[in-house]
Structure 1
Amino acid sequence: MITNAYINRAIDYILNHINENISVDEIASHCNFSRYYFSRMFKAETGESVYEFIKRVKMEQSAFRLKVEKRRSITDISCDYGYSSSNYSSAFKQHHHLSPMEFRRSITQISLTNPLFNKAAVGLESFEKCTQKISIEVLEDYPVIYERHKGSYGNLSVHWGAFQEKHKEHITELTLFLERTYDDPSITDIDECLYDICMTAPEGCQLKNTYVIKGGKFAIYHFKGFVKQIYTAYQSLFNVWLPQSSCEIDHRYGFEIYRKIDNGSMYMEIDLCIPIK
């Protein structure tokens, strides 16, 4: 768990400005620390230097754009993250061991292996089947209590149990449980994924570990199934539905809303909320 409030503030700043040429000095100043002290603190908390984290996020989020925005040119996407075409190709290949073009050609096939469950095979849904499960909605803002983790999504159930026990006095029949996942595990190393587990904060909540998940326009995939099938649903969204739909994903981060969970069978009903323009 990433518990340091200043480091979480820095991560939020990086994620919200990842398409800009942000510097370590700028982020340290945002958190009111010297570059040297802040850099040491960031590395101790996350296991990465600030520079390494910024570069990795740029490489992985731009790769995600290559995956879901197939009609956009590689040059346009590289510019979104502050790279010239030649510099981007070099940095991308160093990180992913494929050129951007090779990555774009192979990512659907790469996505057909589920890294969370013993590399199980994945059968993508058709565009038509996805469309039957998707609604376009405008969601409200959600003030939430949260905890941030870096690691495998496979550890979520353990973290959720501890989180709910810790905050049980704030849970009512109206509480919603949400999850914010920042990475696609077909792109990001499974042990480097960043995610927030959240619950709606009651009015007047005085806890410090709170923020607001911004609402707006979303494509919402209404998932009904078992935990092992969630990866398939996401990959169908990313590889099939988004590239073929008329919807454009925007630069907000998506999240999930848990509607129903059977802890015995692990049957779940979850809204997978993908931000669109």
Structure 2
Amino acid sequence: MPRILLGKPIIDALKARSLERVALLKNNGVDPALAIVRVGARPDDLSYERTAIKRAESLGIALRLFEIEEDAGQDALMKAIDEVNADSGIQGCLMFRPLPKGYDEEAACEALDPRKDIDGIGRAALARVFTGRGEGFAPCTAAACLEMLDGYDVSIEGKRVVVVGRSLVIGRPVAMMLLERNATVTLCHSRTANLPSVMRDADIVVLATGRAKAYGADCFREGQVVLDVGINVDADGNLCGDADFEAAEAVLGEHGAITPVPRGVGGVTTSVLMKHVLDAAERCRQ
């Protein structure tokens, strides 16, 4: 049986370090604060929001919630972003996406101050991920993947990594972050020829396609480390990842490892969000 890489130990370690950082910031007169901008009331946004609020409260990070009615329009959203940008007491902002139909998402993302863009939604924030220069923040889920690997002492340098999924939220950023850590990275997608064969050749596989149980036993081999970032609902209404967990578990063997869904990478994402708030607050101090 492979090692099951649970998110909780990583969350606990990040929390312990974050509590120390919050105390130090407050001792130096800085009260870290997170803004959440939400348009409408999608159930998945509300679920993540509740988790973020609970995590912020547990750390002593202040939180301001900007709730915008779905039919309020672009001007109302831009006004909220302007307010976040102008408030020196807010160091980081999370804006939920995708925005409802009729909103200009690109304009909203680009309007957010890059110094407060702690989830890497704007071009200026992503520039750091793709160029290695600047102070932008990586998308939190992509950063959570590296936190998982580091937290479980999985070596990255020199390893062959296959990332399946090419979105700007996870796939492309995590590929660049792994490349920066000296992995040899192959970025795959739905048009990749012989995908199962390509995946089996990897030491580390990152799944980020949002396709429930799409990757079965033929996609894995013994000894691999599999990070399953997909959060889906299967035919029985249960949460599941992109991997067919039972099939992968049977193939990976005792020298392999895999993250479950739920209780894997997903929970670490909110902890990384808080880490980024504190990074931004410390930069403001300097």
**What TM-score do you get using the length of structure 2 for normalisation?**
0.28
Q: Which has the higher contact order (CA 8 A, sep 6+)?
A: 2
Please identify which structure carries the higher strand content.
1
**What TM-score do you get using the length of structure 1 for normalisation?**
0.28
